[in-house]
Amino acid sequence: MRSNRTFVFATGAAALLAVAACGTSSPTASSGSSGSGSSGSSGGSSAPTLSIVSPATGASVTAPFMLKVSSNQALGAPSTGDDHVHVFIDGATSYTVMTADQMQLKGLSAGKHTIMVTLQHADHSSVGPKATVTVDVTKSSGSSSNTGTGGSSGGSSGGGGYGY
């Protein structure tokens, strides 16, 4: 009878360990055109998030306009060790590094444009979350190059891209 109790105990303990190892939470990376909250670090074990706060998908905007994101991760320059955001325009392979929760986009021509943002570690490896919006630029300021301010650093990758 003693060996039967030992087997039941060992089986129950193994089942508890398996449940604990699997956990019950799932990643909550958001991709969409809206979100709430503010950027900053989050203590705890919640999954990293990134969303585009504004402009909203389908919005009509006049260039220049502010791109605002929200993440539960601290954003900063790669040299600080903080995460940052890569901004891609119209499917381009080159990107701009966004080091704060907002930056100004300038020089986009009139028409529809797709803006995708991805959350990156300081070494530029992907954290995972990304978000995309499509906007309609109704009027351009006439600037021939895209320039961003408000926390961006001109780190683009690939050939010929946007130098925000």
Structural domain boundaries in the chain: 50-153
Q: Is the dihedral of CA 109, 115, 117, 123 positive or negative?
A: negative
Length of the chain: 164
pLDDT at 33 (0 to 100): 37
Domain 50-153: CATH superfamily, name plus number: Immunoglobulins (2.60.40.10)
- Give, for all 164 residues of the chain, the pLDDT tens digit: 555 444 444 444 444 333 333 333 333 333 343 333 334 444 556 899 999 999 999 999 999 999 999 999 999 999 999 999 999 999 999 999 999 999 999 889 999 999 999 999 999 999 999 999 999 999 866 554 444 444 433 443 333 334 33
Closest among 147, 118, 122, 120 to 52, alpha carbons compared? 118
Query: With a threshold of 0.75, does the pTM exceed it?
Result: no
Q: Is the dihedral of CA 138, 112, 144, 147 positive or negative?
A: positive
CB 163 within 8 Å of CB 154: yes
Q: Rounded to an integer, what distance in angstroms lies between the CA atom of residue 86 and that of residue 151? A: 12
pLDDT at 16 (0 to 100): 38
